[in-house]
Structure 1
Amino acid sequence: MLPDFVVIGAFKAGSTSMHHYFAQHPDVFMTKVKEPNYFSFDPTDKTHAEMSRQQLMVSSLAEYESLFEDAKDDQIKGEVSPYYLYSPIALQRMKEIVPAIKMIACLRNPVRRAYSHYLMRLRSGIETKSPKEAFSKDAFWVKASLYADALQRYQQMFSQDQLKFVLFENLIDNPQTLMSELFTFIGVDPVFRVNTEYRFNPGGMPKFPWLHHSLSALKRIPGLRRHTPPFIRNRLARIRDRNLIPAEVLAEDVQQQWLRYYQDDILRVQDILQLDLSSWLEVKEPKKHAI
């Protein structure tokens, strides 16, 4: 069994929430483990250095198909792997293995997405520099906010009715409306209402770093994610989430620096998707904290 749809990205743009929202629908089956990353598995891809061995969870087709074996015959099957948007081979493998698949990409303001990614690295101990010092055009977390080339690759490879591009801001401001739109796109009852009270995988910094690092260490144990029941993983995730507090807003001068880097790409994305992204070209404090 293979998926009918995948959420292909972007990183730090609500993919965890979308995974759980889709999973609430009785006509949708989502893999128990988020981010199997099967289509992007490529041991020769150097950008995989950004990802842990545990994140690259599935390397064989048989193993990937087994993730969907518990789905009912009448359920629409899906999975969420944000790395697909950036992978140089994911779209080619999907074209070969699941040519009729539907794909959803949730895109976030590039500056805010990059800052959220930076904070994730900071709280995990990977990053120690200030945002201004850490910003590098060669860093994956910086390049992950450049969408235009990736969107064009997908549009060239797949038909328009297979692709759905949505904005993170809409997921935050009106999740019910957006999920109804996405339910229609994948072919299930759009009237179903999801429970959006809990914010999955919020951003921020840990109140107790020792607790955050302990929970993160558990995730790095080989095979643990695959063999731990979802309710236990969810409970541990909620402990981790409650330990986070809002991070400081990115300094205005740094926002301006980053925005200058992303500006041309934002304008290209605006043309590609025919959407008004003028708000992405403004430097201002976000109203809500990141998912």
Structure 2
Amino acid sequence: MKKTPDFIIIGAMKCATSTLHDQLAIQPDILMSEPKEPNFFSNDEIYAKGFDWYADLFQGADVTTLCGESSTHYTKLPTYPDTILRMQAAMPSLKLIYVMRHPIDRLISQYIHHWTEKEVSVDINRAVTTLPILIEYSMYSKQLAPFIKTYGRENILPLFFDSLVTRPQHELERVCKFLGYAQSPQWDFDLQASNVSRERLQVNPLRDAIVDNAMVTFIRKNFIPKSVRNFIKKPWQMEKRPTLTPENIDFLKKQFDKDLKTLGNWMNVALSCDTFKETGRSLSDPRINHAWE
């Protein structure tokens, strides 16, 4: 019988899910999927490959191995409306991890992602009104609601980005305790963070094909000064982090505070844009075992 995931990191996008995935992958007796984001239950063209294809991602795992994957597409309503029904049909019992970042910070990071992929060219202040998914993907209670209804709060671990950054070892231990991991996990501080937006370049097929060539990479890293490399990268790089106008910040706070109030009620804490980071850090207190309590 093929092994299927014991848990899934379901999001949110641009909230250090790749870093958490990589840290879990290096723990003994934990197998994380490759690719990191199979997006099986969300994307129609991948779902069409069939469940056997998905199960093969965990090939080789035995009954004692914890298996997981990390697809942030699973919490991208309304873009992928069939995700939860597909997951429920295939795996009615499952543990889920959801990482949340300050909703405005997450929105900005998502905008940078779309810019690097050449999916958006307008200024971020215009994109806020023309690209509604920037706001939708930061509506955490809205994204979580169908998962809570399907799997129950007891099977969902909410994590805060700020806690993961400031107390990574403690948060990794919380994750592993939630998963029922019998060993003592260790955060590897030498493992480089994944998907750092500020380091990304705008896509360019010709440049990428040249840069990915092994010989070119060797020459570039060993014979071309870093200052020259940085100069060459400039045309494809976003030099400054995008800045929202005060008016747009006020608009976004009003949008997100309504959603965060619902999330806060579920978690028995006061949540708003103004309190989000402080509350997130406080919930990493070692005396607190589960954020829903």
The reply to whether residue 106 of structure 1 matches residue 106 of structure 2 is: no
Aligned mate of 2:124, from 105, 118, 131: 131
Task: Give the CA deviation at 1:173.
Answer: 1.2
Q: How does 1:149-168 map to 2 (within 5 A)?
A: 149-168=142-161
Q: How does 1:63-102 map to 2 (within 5 A)?
A: 63-86=53-76, 87-102=80-95
The reply to whether residue 204 of structure 1 matches residue 198 of structure 2 is: yes
The reply to whether residue 271 of structure 1 matches residue 250 of structure 2 is: no
The reply to whether residue 170 of structure 1 matches residue 163 of structure 2 is: yes
Contact between 1:28 and 1:77, CA under 8 Å: does it hold in 2? yes
Structure-1 separation of matches of 2:275 and 2:270? 13
1:58–1:16 Cα change, 3 Å? farther
Aligned mate of 1:27, from 29, 35, 42: 29
Aligned mate of 1:40, from 42, 48, 59: 42
Contact between 1:205 and 1:247, CA under 8 Å: does it hold in 2? no
Structure-2 separation of matches of 1:256 and 1:154? 30
Secondary structure of residue in 1 paired with 2:92: coil
Give the TM-score normalised by structure 1: 0.75
1:39–1:283 Cα change, 3 Å? closer
Task: Give the CA deviation at 1:7.
Answer: 0.5
Structure-2 separation of matches of 1:138 and 1:262? 16
Contact between 2:97 and 2:156, CA under 8 Å: does it hold in 1? yes
Contact between 2:106 and 2:138, CA under 8 Å: does it hold in 1? yes
Contact between 1:256 and 1:283, CA under 8 Å: does it hold in 2? no
Letter in 2 for 1:62: D
Structure-1 separation of matches of 2:276 and 2:175? 30
CA-to-aligned-CA distance 1:114-145 (integer Å, 9 cap, x gap): 11000111122221111111112752232111
Structure-2 separation of matches of 1:216 and 1:171? 34
Give the aligned partner of residue 2 of structure 1. Answer: 4
Letter in 1 for 2:129: S
Q: Which runs of 4+ in 1 moved over 6 A?
A: 242-246
1:283–1:188 Cα change, 3 Å? closer
More displaced stretch, 142-151 vs 7-16: 142-151
Contact between 1:3 and 1:78, CA under 8 Å: does it hold in 2? yes
Contact between 2:98 and 2:158, CA under 8 Å: does it hold in 1? yes
Structure-2 separation of matches of 1:177 and 1:187? 15
Of the two, which has the highest radius of gyration? Answer: 2
Give the aligned partner of residue 183 of structure 1. Answer: 176
Letter in 1 for 2:70: V
Secondary structure of residue in 1 paired with 2:107: helix
Task: Give the CA deviation at 1:245.
Answer: 7.8
Task: Give the CA deviation at 1:25.
Answer: 0.7
More displaced stretch, 247-256 vs 257-266: 247-256
Gaps in structure 1 of 5+ consecutive residues: 44-55, 219-241, 285-291
1:245–1:149 Cα change, 3 Å? closer
CA-to-aligned-CA distance 1:209-231 (integer Å, 9 cap, x gap): 5xx5349966xxxxxxxxxxxxx
CA-to-aligned-CA distance 1:27-65 (integer Å, 9 cap, x gap): 10011211111122336xxxxxxxxxxxx4873101001
1:129–1:165 Cα change, 3 Å? same
Task: Output the aligned Cα RMSD.
Answer: 2.8
Contact between 1:41 and 1:59, CA under 8 Å: does it hold in 2? no
| Aligned sequence identity (%) | 22
